[in-house]
Amino acid sequence: MKEPGKTETETRFSVAPMMEWTDRHYRFMARQLSRKAVLYTEMIHANAIIHGDRQRFLDFHPQEQPVVLQLGGNDPATLAEAARWAERWGYSEVNLNCGCPSDKVASGSFGACLMANPDHVARLVESMKQAVSIPVTVKSRIGIEGKGMSAKSDYKDLQAFTHTMIEAGCDRLIVHARIAVLGGLNPAENRSVPPLRYEDVYRLKREYPDLPIELNGGLRSIDEMHKHLHAGLDGIMVGRAAYETPRILGHVDALLESESIVAGDDLEPLPRVLDAMQQYILDRFEEGVSPTRIVRHMLGLFHGIPGARRMRQMLSGRWNAGLDDREKLRQYLSDVFAEPGRVESVEASAV
């Protein structure tokens, strides 16, 4: 058996790749909250990188690093070429999606349906490994089942898949601890209906101690994240909680460094994050990027704080109403981002 390829084996906290959500603007914001979280792109099909607008699909801000490009596809040569572009563009890793359960993705013969043929996935990984020197990783489910196909949802199937990935040289395996039900559940249902089987992932780590294994699926609270970060795995990957309540990322660096939970609501001051985002919005405005493409990712920042509703209303308003130059935009952002402090001051003086 081949040893897994060399990669960083320190415990990781990763933010999951999420379509329409983890674009470069969200990732820049996430990096303001955590220095150590590993960030992922949205899944990008290999063909889009080879034949499409690479600047659009691949560009990222230097502050985003470490950032991983997640690829979709099923052709070895195409994925290898896309991986080469990832390395040229400066990505720290490239990841193969073997976990997306959507019908649209399955109709293209990539995503979770690839788990039905581990030997083919091995060829994909081997081709990418031969093409680049950066780590090549795989994100999967614990298994799959669906109409018209042989189910591969038992632990022995996950075990066989993992063994095959190791043979192919996979540098890290990120496992969503649910099966994917293809053709029977939509993506949202696939995130909640199949039961979580965390023990399968822990058992996998015990049986393959040399392969870095990361747990994904159902992690919402700081307590849950802390527990799994310090329970013998090589990391955790958090999805929707990191988007809907992004201030949890302010705890990540402390969670990775300490076996005890650090008290406090926020370990990264919100005003500093807002200052960084204001400058980022202004810089992108100069490049022709609409503020709406950025601020839509910021709404969750204000979850649970005084004035949150008003903040979200102000950020969701019409951005083209008189904000036609940098100075007007700067003043508007300064006013909006000062709102939490004003609300807190008013409430404090009323006590």
Tell me the catalytic residues.
Answer: 100
Residue 5: DSSP 8-state: P
8 A C-beta contact, residue 324 and residue 286: no
Supply 55's token pair.
């600047």
Supply 248's token pair.
């949890």
Supply 289's token pair.
């990027």
For the four alpha carbons of 206, 211, 215 and 216, in that order, the dihedral sign comes to negative
SS3 153: coil
Q: Which residue has the tokens 């999805």?
A: 239
SS3 91: coil
DSSP H helical ranges for 132-257 = 155-168, 187-190, 198-207, 222-229, 240-244, 252-257
Angle at 118 between CA 185 and CA 176, to 5 degrees: 45
SS3 313: helix
Distance CA 338, CA 271 (A): 8
Residue 12 phi/psi, 5-degree rounding, is: -115, 150
Residue 43: DSSP 8-state: P
Distance CA 82, CA 95 (A): 11
Supply 48's token pair.
């889009």
Closest alpha carbon to 190 in 295, 307, 99, 259: 99
Distance CA 174, CA 93 (A): 13
